[in-house]
Homo-oligomer: A and B are copies of this chain.
């Protein structure tokens, strides 16, 4: 025995605007129980209040409509709760990321960035086990964590050993379009040990200018800015991907391609 209400009443009961309700109808997120064929008047059931309120809460958390639909359509309750809890976790991570950004912005506003020094280096060809993929800029962190685990796993299973620090090549589209090729590699000397996505790959030799980034990973842009500025000022820039070496938890070497090795 459900009661039908107009869109206006339903709006007051759910804190959703009339425009939003019509939009959710259009995109099939929340369909009125009945639509009058002649007038087009929407009728909502009081049974839909809970769903509507859930939608509003999820939208308050900026969950995309498609995801909300997926959550609501998950017929079995367990799957549904899973999906919800997953998004809550994601939100928590977002919160932490935002807090980090706020903190680092505050730090930047207080002290001027330290001027680090650079070094020119000729890197010889690097034999490695690598995974390559097209990666979105903002998904890069998660991708790296995943593939480096995979690479080290493959090496361990083949009883091999890394002959240098982890590294990655970032091609220009990765920065300039926000999505592009990335090659994550672990230097190895041993024989074939490909498995899954991991394959043998010899990284070509390059000349680079190197600056060591020492500090929080979120501030890597500072090092890019400083290093890029120096390379531009000295007019030694060259084509090619930017290379990073993850020396240890604290330090990352950023390698910017240059024309020739100099003093």
| Cβ-defined contact, B12 with A176, below 8 A | yes
Stretch at the interface among A24-32, A160-168, A181-189, A226-234: A226-234
Mask, A21-65, CB within 8 Å of B = 1, is 000000000000000000000000010011001101110110000
10 nearest CB pairs, A to B: A13-B228, A46-B229, A49-B225, A17-B178, A12-B175, A11-B176, A3-B233, A18-B176, A3-B232, A5-B232
- Main secondary structure, interface of A, reads helix
A94 to B: closest C-beta gap in Å: 8
A262 to B: closest C-beta gap in Å: 17
A81 proximity list for chain B (CB < 8 A) = 109
A7 to B: closest C-beta gap in Å: 8
A56-B221 contact given A12-B176, A176-B17, CB 8 Å threshold: yes
A37 to B: closest C-beta gap in Å: 23
Supply 5 further A-B pairs (C-beta < 8 A) apart from A18-B176, A58-B105.
A12-B172, A14-B225, A17-B178, A61-B101, A92-B102
| Cβ-defined contact, A57 with B8, below 8 A | no
| Interface residue ranges of A53-108 to B (CB < 8 Å) | 53-54, 56-58, 60-61, 81, 84, 88, 91-92, 95, 98-99, 101-102, 104-106, 108
Residue A15, interface by CB 8 Å: yes
| Cβ-defined contact, B242 with A12, below 8 A | yes
User: So how many copies of this chain end up in the complex?
Assistant: 2
A201 to B: closest C-beta gap in Å: 23
| A101 CA to B62 CA, complexed, in Å | 11
A175-B15 contact given A61-B102, A91-B98, A102-B61, CB 8 Å threshold: yes
Mask, A102-142, CB within 8 Å of B = 1, is 10111011000000000000000000000000000100000
A81 to B: closest C-beta gap in Å: 7
A257 to B: closest C-beta gap in Å: 10
